[in-house]
Amino acid sequence: VGLLNAIVTFFGAEPKAWFTLQPWNNIFLVSILIWLQTGYAMVIISAALKGVPSAIIEAGRIDGASEFRVIRSIIIPYIFSTIVTVSTTIIILSLKIFDIVFTMTNGNYGTEVIASMQYKQMFRFYNYGRGSAIAIVLVIAVIPVMWYNLHQFRKREVF
């Protein structure tokens, strides 16, 4: 079942359970995450790029800046807060990714992530102490990213 198996069987090979094959299963899970987040990141960063004043870019070109220099010295500093926001959101999502792994492989076949490990400890093995400890580790891993994001917002006087 599926597009990849249809292609494989068209060329005469046997269909496979792709999510059970290591390391392909992790590559497929990562591609699902990339597919889900690309639209979000593109919309936000595209809106930020459209907000860069064309007069500033034109002034940089008149001053003799190359296209690479315009991107590095004008555009990226102008949209840096947007890049930080999108990066923070994606990093936090990747730390707590649970739904994709749980839906596709249930954490089996070498695809265990910290969130699915915490879920299994608490609700399958009824080991609430270990599950709570894993949740605390996840919170501790997210705190520096959130701190950096809030620090950047404070610097730019968003609050």
pLDDT digits (tens, 9 = 90+) for 22-32: 888 889 888 98
Give residue 73's Cα distance to chain centre. 26
pLDDT, tens digit, 9 for 90 and up, residues 5-44: 899 999 999 998 888 888 888 898 889 889 989 999 999 9
Helix or strand (DSSP H, E) at 96: none
Give residue 8's Cα distance to chain centre. 29
Q: Which two tokens stand for residue 87?
A: 């990066």
Angle between helix axes 24-50 and 80-95 (nearest 10 degrees) is 160
pTM for this prediction? 0.69
Half-sphere exposure of 13 (CA within 13 A, CB side): 9
Give residue 42's Cα distance to chain centre. 12
DSSP assignment, residue 122? Answer: I
CA distance 101 to 112: 7
